[in-house]
Structure 1
Amino acid sequence: MGVMNYFAGTESTLVDLGGGIKRKVTAHNDNLMCVEVHFDTAAVGALHSHPHEQITYILSGRFEFTIGDTTQVLTAGDSTYKQPHIEHGAVCLEAGVLLDIFTPCRTDFLG
């Protein structure tokens, strides 16, 4: 199969992950992935780590992020960078949407 260059928003759906968090995989290829993550107020993205690099852009809402041994409150227009294997997580203080970019692709999010 060749490379896909266009990904219609209507062709992917929000997947309910439970706990007030929903995820929608958007554009992706082997080396890069874009994911929308919707949080209800008080939803918790538990501390975790993975081998992927990750950038998170806050589209809306208010979040308390922990990355490594630091914690900071971020709002729309702010962003984060997480290097591979660093422990990180977030608590949603006001309902919002994050845009996560991963490299390489999170194949565990597909299928």
Structure 2
Amino acid sequence: MKKTEKDQKWVFNKDIDGEQAAEGVVRKVLAYCDSMMCVENHFEEGAVGKMHGHPHTQITYVASGAFEFTIGDETKIVRAGDTLLKQDGIIHGCVCLEKGILVDFFTPMREDFI
């Protein structure tokens, strides 16, 4: 399986293999360094990003599809072009309503993803 290396200057999506992150969710770790990481998540309709928290600040960009997201005690439906901010330690999760792709940016990088 082809994975991205830390501090890799050029990451071509077509060259990176995805890995099963959950049922109906495939994760691709793209460019990253110690202080930041970009991750692409492909969701099938009905797939769940279980409620969780972590010590990283995370911004999610909805590249395609529709998702019901919960951040803390608030739930909203988001679609392509929307962004979400999840401060470190805040519990969050989602349900995919329409097949789609989420692009996550983490600071610092998620060591548990590599």
Task: Give TM-score scaled by structure 1 length.
Answer: 0.94
Instruction: Tell me, yes or no, if structure 1 residue 38 matches structure 2 residue 55.
Output: no
Q: Structure 2: how far apart are the matches of 1:18 and 1:38?
A: 10
Shift of 1:107: 0.9
Shift of 1:77: 0.3
1:50 alignment partner, SS class: coil
Matched-pair identity in %: 50
Unaligned runs of 5+ in 2: 1-5
Deviations 1:25-80 (A, max 9, x none): 00000000000000000000000000000000000000000000000000000010
The residue number in structure 2 matching 1:68 is 72
1:10 alignment partner, SS class: helix
Q: Structure 2: how far apart are the matches of 1:75 and 1:48?
A: 21
Match of 1:88 among 88, 92, 95: 92
The residue number in structure 1 matching 2:14 is 10
Q: Structure 2: how far apart are the matches of 1:54 and 1:13?
A: 22
The residue number in structure 2 matching 1:23 is 27
Task: Give TM-score scaled by structure 2 length.
Answer: 0.91
Q: Structure 2: how far apart are the matches of 1:81 and 1:48?
A: 14
Amino acid aligned to 2:63: L
How has the CA–CA distance of structure 1 residues 28 and 91 changed in structure 2, closer, same or farther, with 3 Å as cutoff? same
Instruction: Tell me, yes or no, if structure 1 residue 54 matches structure 2 residue 58.
Output: yes
Alpha-carbon RMSD across the aligned residues, in angstroms, is 1.2
Q: Structure 2: how far apart are the matches of 1:102 and 1:93?
A: 24
Amino acid aligned to 1:22: V
Shift of 1:88: 0.1
